[in-house]
Each structure stands twice: as structure tokens, then as C-alpha cells.
Chain A
Amino acid sequence: MKVSINWIKDFVDLNGINIEDLIYKFTMGVAEVEGIEYKGKNISNVVVGEIKSVEDVPNSKKLHLLQVDIGSDILQIVCGAPNVRVGLKTPLAKIGARLGDVKIGKAKLAGVESFGMCCGGDEIGISDDHSGIVELDDSARVGQDIKEVLDIEDIVFEIDNKSLTNRPDLWGHYGIAREIASLTGRKLKPLSVEDEKNFDNKDKINLSVKSEDCYRYTTACMKNITRKRSPLNMQIRLYYCGMRGINFLADITNYIMLELGQPMHAFDGDIVKKIEVYNLKNDLEFKTLDGVKRNLQKGNMVIATNDTPVAIAGIMGGEDSEITDNTTSVLIESANFDSYKVRTTAISLGLRTEASSRYEKSLDPELTKIALLRYVKLVKEYDNGAVISSQICDTYNKKYPKLEIEIKKDFIDRYVGIEISEERIINILTSLEFKLLYNKSGTYKFEVPSFRATKDINGKADLVEEITRIYGYDNITPKSISQIIKPVKLDRNITLEYDVKYSLADRFNLNETHSYIWYDVNTNNTLKLNPTSVISCINSISKENSKIRSTIIPSLLKVIQENKSYYNEFGTFEIGRVVKSLREDGLVHETKSLGVLLYNKKLDTQKDLLKIKEILDYLFNYIIKLELTLNLEKPSVSYYHPKNYYKIFANGVDVGDVFMIHPTTCDLVEEGCSIVGFEINFSMLTSISEKETKFEKISKLPVKKLDFNFIIPQNYLYKDIIGLAKNIKTKLTFNVSLLDIFDNKDGTKSYTLHYEVTSMDRTLTNDDIEKFHTSVINKFKENSIELKL
């Protein structure tokens, strides 16, 4: 919202106050100021001129030759404006005048010399009108500096609207002036309004409010209005604050909206004589005064007369009943509507107006009558013939309860952390029009003013805010706490995540990336991925980004695809959230997933997969510290390679899988490349309890070493063989390890197993060794595995 300092000065004396300092104070104590404009600063040497004669310029259809009296001189001026006429007073820029970036010099137009320029509104910055020259009031004195006649000079600052969302009282200058009065310690002047007595004994207006969403509707009529244009100074204020002059009666509604924050509407009094407020029972087409046909929906609240809608409540009036140049009587609307109703209607119509954005903030219904009285006062002030032609008709259906808050000084001091004097507390709140009901030795009760009681102020904490912001947050000294500090241990969920990330990046040269929680369906389609998703977002940025992922691998494949051209070999990882299932109550079961992918431009299955295994071994042995087991299985996902796919078990619990990406997908990424990786349900890891580690007794007696060389058929995995090798029934103590694997030409493998055998209590005999040897061979024989001969 834009605020004019000239306007504020109507209500607070700002003499002797530096405006920049004031605006800074405002930012620090009320709401954020986004910018300051210095209006009229770059306008100079413009005076009131009176046109004495008008002649046509030969060779020109448009131009006129004027003689303009500027008091000290009569100037010859060439002017193209259509509204030139003898006797018109208008701003005249003399030679040497500055109009913004333009400097006026002697000029020759159509061969005729011109010694200055008559100005349009846009040229002196008071409007965007370029249709003609400014028509000044006859009261302007010839030769007078234009800045003495018009309020061209002003300082306008813009407040960030977002910082006013909770302050319905700050959507007009009067409310801002109240804050400024409080910040500067000056008095807020009362608003000048029409005396209610002047409405006595007039006709009633037929007013029927049938919608619950209309909290209050206040209306009155005036007639015999002859003035068509609002005073220039009023138009300038409207323009400086982001609106524009339309006509006298409409301008005053806007003027009061900017002054009090109360939106108003002026209906042509000859067309709208009675008022009905109701929610539509059927959909309806309606033409608003901007000339656009709009589709109103059942339930939208409208203002109607004789069952014909004339306005969308709180948003915009209709074209048929708007003020025109023929209007001589007016029916004034000053109403209060439900904020949610106005907001939802405005959003559904795609029509947010100055009025609707104010109603959305929950305006004070007490304002409607004040605004109406102010309206009548202003009309009468600028149009002497205008008369009041009705009573004030006022239906007040929803009154907010009076709000009183008790607060103790102790509480304020404790909450703020410094001491603020009682005098200061009471002064601040009183200056903001909170009424002190009592003060019982440090316990105060305040009545909240109605304009703060619609939603903004609710309790003690709100009063603390009022006190401290005016007192100045800068005046609060930072203070440490007096609490005893206890040592804090970082949760293993978090430390484990960091430890894993550091290992992957530092030890295995992988790059961490972040990706979205939803799939990118386009990428999935391109790469022929069809991952599952158990839930979607109903208002996603696009249909292709609505499915919440159940696995992190497709996101990482996208990363591989987008980075592959920079590297021959690289790896990436992410620990991110996935949803694999819904819980019984329908809520999502969200888990953290660790995904790792390695890309190799040139397929080398053995090397790539062994690198993945190395990573897994390292993580499980040194970081995660759980026992890793891999089970060869068939993948349930079509984009995983059918041959090299394992389930990952941590201490026997299924936590994820190791895989190669299917050649179909790999080839789509890069012909002939390999992509391998694993995915682990990271959330589960911390819930699996670690197995205890204990030291084994070591025998002090001699150890016998035995080597065996077995021929292992194709379908055996290492872990099967080592399982057999360990599963020897004996009373002796032994250790077994694999010395060597050799690939035979026929597809079988030769394993050299190394046993170290001992006993805890006696020296081994040859017989012991012999028995042990036989047990091993028999164990393998049971599984059709023979010694190499």
C-alpha cells in the first residue's frame, strides 16, 4: 500500500520531524517499507497561466497559437491540446522549466515560435492523462507557482502488503497516521464527519439483508449533485496512491477507502433505490463496471435491487448502475462482509480488487457508519448544492464481542527480558487507542479498540507485541539464558546419515545430489522405467510430476543421464524420502532411502559390481556396523538386470537390494554403458540392533594347517561354500578361510580352502587330524563336491 505523507499530515502534525527517520521508525515498529518516492521534486518553473487568446496555426490542423498571461508577462505558446479556450487557467512551463527529465526551451512548431508549454497531467506527474492540458480552478492566481496551487510535492512510501495481512486497520491513511502518532508521541487529530442529526426525519431506504455473510450494511442517499470531477488535489492523492480519478462520486468512495480502509460503493440513485443482500440461488452472468461479463456462481453474495444484482458484494459493482456524467443522485454503500466469503469469491472469479483485498483482512464493522458520514461530509464540502435525501439505514447483524485483556507488568518484563516502565506501557497502549480500564498495582486491564479486535489482537502476547514494537526492538539488550545446560547427544539417525555420506563422498568419490520427492514421469518414460507409486499429489506443478516416489533410483538415473556427457565414470548418491506403502489409517509410511548408482561408459560388469560390493562391505563393516548378507534373487522390477540382482540383509533383516540396471535402460542412457547400484531402506538401519561382539578364546596349543582343493560346480556361490566349510561337526576348534579361487575352463571353479585346527585342552594327535580331514571331505561329498585330484 502506498502512503502519502501529505495525507498523513491531515491527521498528525509532522512539523520538525525528519521524514526519512520517520519512515525508518515505521519499518522497525509497524511494517516493512519497500520504497520511497519523492513526488514533484523534479518539477520547477511551472506557474499558473491564463489563456488570453486562441488562434489557429496555419499549416496545422491540431495546433493552436495561444497568448498566455503569467502575470509578469504574456507569452506566445503553441499548443496541441484540444481543450484550449480563452479564460482557461492551466499550468505553464516557462522556458528553463524542468518537467521530470525534460527541460523546456524555446521551440518552433509548424514554423511558429513557442515560449513555453501548457502542461497535461502526465507532464507534471499528477496523472497519466495526456488527452489535454490541466484545467485549474478559477481561484488559482495567475503567475502563482503551480506547487502552491496543487499538492504536486509529496513523499510517498510503499508498504509491503504482506506485512499488513493481519492489520485490517492499516489499510487506510488514518490507521497509518495513528501508528505514526504513537511512534512520534504526537496527537492523532479526529476525523471530520457529517453530523448524524442531519439525517433525521428523512425518507427510509428499503434495505433487506438476507445473507449471513453480510455483517453490516449501512446506506444513505444524496441528491442534487452537479459536480462531475473531483478536486485536482484529491485526484493527485488518488493517483499518488496507485488509483486514478474517474468521476466525483466514485473518486470519493476510493478516497475514503484509502483514508479509512473501508471500501464503499456509489450507485446511481435513480437506478438503485432499494437494496437487497443475498447469496445467489443460481448461477448468473453479470457485467461488472469494468465492462467484463462474469459468471457468478450459486452461493456468491450479491447486492441487488428489485431482485436484479447490481454488485458482487465486497468485490465490484455492476456496469448498469455505475455513476455516469448524468448522475445527480447517489445511493451510498458502506458495508462489512465476511472475509472468507469475499476471498473465496474473488479467487473463484479471478477478480481481486482493492475492495476485496481489504475485506479479506477482516475489517472492523464499526467503520461502515463513520465512512458513510465522512462520504457525505466530503460530497457536501465540494458540491454546495448536494443534499442528504434519506436516513441512514443500517443493518448490523454481526457485532464482534468487546475484547478486554488483563496483563501483569511482571509478565511483560519476563516475556521481553528487560524492564519497561509502567508509564511507558500505559502511554504506548493508550496512544494506540487501547483503553485502560484499571491498574491494580501492576495488573492492568485494557479494552481493545474495535478496529484491532476482529482477529488481530487476542491475548496477552499481542499486548506485549504492541508495547515492544513501539518501545523499539532495538532497545532490547540481548541476554543469555540462566538455564543449566545439559550435554546433548546427537541422534544416531543423524550421525549415521552423515557418516555414510562422508564415506561415499570422501572414500568412494561419489557425488551427492538432491532430487524431488515426486517422479519425473517424462524421464521415466524416456528410460523405460515403471517404478511403483502408492500416492499422488492432487495439485502438482504438472501431471508428470505428481507421483510420489517409492524408490530413489529413478531420480538418480535422471542424474546419471544428465551428467554422463561430462564423465566416463562417476557415481552419485542421495539419502532422500520415499513412500513405499500406506499405513492402515491411510497415512503415508515415509522412509529415508539411500540410493547409490555408478556409471561406467564402457561396460565392465565384474569391475563395476565389485566396486559396488566394496562400497557395501565398507559401509556395513565400518559405518553401519551390521552383518551384511546378500541373497541372489530375481528382481521384481523390470528395469533391473535379471542376472545380477541380490537382496541386502542387515543382521538378517531385508533392507534393500543390489542391482545392475537392465541393458534396455542402460542403452537408452548411453549405448553400451553400465549402471550398477544399490538402494537401502535407511530408516530401518537404526532400528536393527547390533549384534554383540565378544572376544574368542585363543588356544595356546600348536595349530595344524590343512589345505583342501575342491572342484566347485557352477551353481554354487562363495557364501554357500564357506557355509559348508564352516559347518563341520567336530570337538576341535578351527578357522577356515579361502586362499584362492580359480576359474576352470569347463565353467567350474577351484577353491583352495585353508583350515587351521587346534584344541583348547590338548595337543592334537594324528588321529584327530585324520578324523577332521575326513569330516571336511565328507561334508563336501554330501553336496556332490569333490576334491581336485
Chain B
Amino acid sequence: MEKLDNILLNAKNEIDNANEKQSLNNVYQKYLGKDGIVTQELKHMKELSQDEKKTFGMEINRIKNEIFMLIKNREKDFERLKIEKQIESTQFVDLTVPSRERRGSLHPITILQEKLIDIFLSMGFTVEDGNEIETEYNNFEAVNIPKNHPARDMQDTFYLENGQVLKTHTSAAQNRIMRKYGAPLKAIFPGRCFRNEELDASHENTFFQIEGMMIDKDVSVANLIYFMKEMLTNVFGKEINVRLRPGFFPFVEPGFELDISCPYCDGKGCKVCKHSGWIELCPCGMIHPNVLKMGGIDPEKYQGFAFGLGFSRLAMMNYDITEIRLLNSGNIKALSQAKIK
């Protein structure tokens, strides 16, 4: 029995001293192999008495299993050490270094316009693309601004030599779109507009609007409020409240000024909203019966709402731009800042 204990002791030593797979393998062969020491001992079994056989058998099995386990564990050690070494030698890489500096940029108006288009598409609106140069008829008469109306004064409108005008509002496309689609109708039409105004921080002679129209048999003021609220909540990415105030625009009746709860202070009052909690955002209203009529839609059967969102202004709000003139400045350093915040 003592002999067996010695075998185990020796094996243990040799296993601990094995530094690589091959020498461990040699240890295995030496003890547990075909001609190994333990295997040899087993052969002595038959020389023993029945009782001794039993005790010896148990003992040698124990030794055999123990050596086997020791070798297996040592193998696992090797595996672990190998991986540890690999980890150690792997290079560390600083991923906070940018991969490829994005130098190209889209205009803030392009980015916002796409966002607006997506929102309206998801609400079932068709997207149309209007002209920048329009006839006087489309720009004025067709939206209920007759000759002699103050809005048609030369000082507000750029006229061309052939009598056409640089469109003063996206409403100039209303007539064409009503004639193209008829009723019912749901469409938005973004576009560039022009007004002969003195340039300053908040006034430009060239700016963007997005016009929307929805016409059906029972489209109501309540629907208008709903759509504007949903749309603006999406634009600002947070719950926006809207309120209507009376506003006069010849192409709508009733006409409204739409205010939104200030998205900067959530209506609590701040510098942007002049501490009122509200920001005046866009004119809107129920489409004037005359406008429907001129668009070939029977105002006795159909009604609808329209709005004209000044989205140069919206872009300024969205990107914290304080000078509207920046948008047409061609100043790439400034314009290319429109990135993910």
C-alpha cells in the first residue's frame, strides 16, 4: 500500500513539473499508459488473496482516477494560460479616435425637410414639389387675394418682366394641387418663397415654407388642431401643446395663428418665448370657400384645412441658429455644423 502512495506522490510531482502538453502526455504514458506503472501494478492483482484483492483493487482504482484527474486539470491550466497569454499580447485600440472624419454636410433645411416629409408621409400625406416662379393668378387670385389687396403691393412681391412673380408663399401651389388631385386630398408641398424685405437677423428675402392641405367631407377645426399637435410633437421629439388664436389670412376662414408651447422651457417661460410659454409658429385655418371653388372643388360638399409652416424659422429653432441669413450665406464652416447633437 505504501508503494501505491509513493506512486501517486511521484506522479503528482511529475504532473506539477510538466510545462507543456508533450511532457504531460509523457507522464500519462508513464503511469496510465499500456505499460505504465499503474497498469503494471494492476497486473499484480491476480497474485493476491480474495480479501487483499478487494482492498488493493479499490486502492489502485483510486490512485488511477486521481492521477487521471490531476492530468486533466493540468491540461485545463495549460489552456487557460495560453488564452491569458493571448489576451496579454493583444493590442489595445483606442476607439474614441474617429474612424473617418465626416467632412461633407447637408444643408439644415434639407435635413429638417426630410424629417417633416417623413412625418407627413406616415400620416398619409402626398408630397408635392412646387415652382419658385409662379403666375400672379396662382400666387394671389387663386388664394383669394384679389387685385388692390394690400398684400399685393410691389414692396412685398418680386415681379419679373413677364408679369410672373417669385412666389411669396407656398400657398401659390394650392390651386394647382387641388386641380391635380381633386377632393378628397391630403398633401404637403415644401418650397422656397421670396419677399422683398430688408434683411436682418430674423428676416430674409428668400426663405422656406411647407404648406399642407387636407380636404374631405368633414374635415374640421378639431382635426386641424389634432394634426398640428401630432406633427409638431414629432418634429420636436417631445409633447407639444398647440393653441389657436384668431389670425387673418385671405385664403382661410376662420384663420388662425398657431402657437406652440415653448419647446425650450416646456411652457414655463424663458427668453425664447419671451416668458409667455408660447411661441407663434404658423398661420393656418379652414380653407376659404372661394379658394376651394377656384381649385375646382365644391365648397358645399367639401371642406378642409391648410397651414403654412415657416420652416426656415423652424430650422433656426431646431438648430439654435440665431441669424436667418446664415441659411443662404454659403458659409460652409457654419452650415456644416448641423450634426447629431
Contact = CB atoms under 8 A, between A and B. Distances in A.
B245 interface: yes
A465 B332 contact: no
Interface residues on A, range: 35 or more
Interface stretch (B25-33, B82-90, B160-168): B160-168
Interface string A621-649: 00000000000000000000000000000
Contact of A459 (B160, B161, B289): B289
A588 B121 contact: no
Interface string B256-279: 110000000000000000000000
Contacts of A482: 218
Interface string A568-591: 001110000101001000111010
Nearest to A474: B243
Given A360-B150, A563-B331, A32 B218 contact: no
A479 B196 contact: no
A490 interface: yes
Given A469-B254, A537-B159, A588 B328 contact: no
Q: Which of A474, A559, A588 has the most CB of B within 10 A?
A: A588
A388 to B, nearest CB: 39
Contact of A516 (B150, B218, B222, B328): B328
Interface in A467-515: 468-469, 473-474, 476-483, 485-488, 490-491, 493-494, 498, 501-502, 504-515
B119 to A, nearest CB: 12
A539 B154 contact: yes
A501 B161 CA distance: 33
Contact of B221 (A415, A462, A487): A415
B133 A588 contact: yes
B148 A416 contact: no
Nearest to B312: A514
A572 B332 contact: yes
Contact of B206 (A343, A502, A506, A517): A517
A509 B105 CA distance: 7
A536 B245 contact: no
Given A416-B221, A476-B222, A539-B159, A498 B246 contact: no
Interface in A312-332: none
Contacts of B218: 414, 482
Contact of A493 (B110, B126, B129, B205): B129
Interface stretch (A23-31, A695-703, A757-765, A780-788): A23-31
Contacts of A493: 129
A509 B229 CA distance: 37
A572 B104 CA distance: 9
B117 interface: yes
Contacts of A360: 150
Q: Which of B160, B214, B331 has the most CB of A within 10 A?
A: B160
* Interface range for B: 35 or more
A412 to B, nearest CB: 10
A31 B194 CA distance: 27
A739 interface: no
A505 B336 CA distance: 10
Contacts of A579: 133
B129 A566 contact: no
Nearest to B114: A498
B104 A538 contact: no
Contacts of B229: 478
Given A469-B246, A536-B160, A538-B159, A506 B124 contact: no
A417 B220 contact: yes
Q: Which of B226, B229, B253, B254 has the most CB of A within 10 A?
A: B254
A166 B245 CA distance: 15
Which of B132, B166, B303, B336 has the most CB atoms of chain A within a 10 A radius of its CB?
A: B132
A517 B327 contact: no
A400 interface: no
Given A479-B226, A494-B127, A30 B246 contact: yes
B243 A590 contact: no
A347 interface: yes
A27 B229 CA distance: 21
A588 B160 contact: yes
A537 B184 CA distance: 37
A480 B109 CA distance: 29
Contact of B254 (A465, A490, A562): A465
A613 interface: no
Contacts of B148: 340
B104 A509 contact: yes
B331 A562 contact: yes
A558 interface: yes
Contact of A478 (B222, B288, B336): B222
Contacts of A539: 154-155, 157-159, 196
Interface in A541-563: 541, 548, 555, 558-559, 562-563
Given A462-B253, A481-B223, A562-B330, A535 B161 contact: yes
A488 B332 contact: no
Contact of A559 (B192, B205, B288, B332): B332
A464 interface: yes
A163 interface: yes
Nearest to B225: A478
B44 interface: no
A540 interface: yes
Contacts of B105: 505, 511-512
Contacts of B248: 163, 165-167
Nearest to A570: B332
A473 B244 contact: yes
A603 interface: no
A514 B327 contact: yes
A505 B244 CA distance: 39
Contacts of B132: 517, 577, 590
Interface string B287-305: 0110000000000000100
B219 interface: yes
B155 to A, nearest CB: 8
B34 interface: no
A28 B104 contact: no
Nearest to A32: B245
A27 B245 contact: yes
A753 B123 CA distance: 56
A461 interface: yes
Interface string A23-44: 0000111111000000000000
B51 interface: no
B335 interface: yes
The residue in A167, A494, A512, A558 that gathers the most chain B C-beta atoms within 10 A of its C-beta is: A512
Nearest to A493: B129
B279 to A, nearest CB: 13
B335 to A, nearest CB: 6
Contacts of A468: 221, 254
A495 B166 CA distance: 25
Interface string B66-93: 0000000000000000000000000000
A488 B124 contact: yes
A515 B330 contact: yes
Interface string A266-290: 0000000000000000000000000
Interface string A183-216: 0000000000000000000000000000000000
A477 B106 contact: no
A418 B246 CA distance: 18
6 contacts: A414-B218, A415-B286, A464-B254, A476-B222, A516-B206, A572-B330
List of 10 A-B pairs having minimum Cβ-Cβ separation, nearest first: A417-B222, A417-B220, A465-B254, A478-B226, A505-B104, A461-B253, A559-B330, A473-B244, A479-B222, A509-B104
Given A491-B128, A517-B206, A555-B330, 17 more contacts: A28-B246, A31-B246, A32-B245, A163-B247, A415-B221, A468-B254, A473-B221, A480-B226, A487-B124, A506-B104, A509-B102, A511-B104, A511-B336, A513-B107, A566-B332, A567-B332, A588-B133
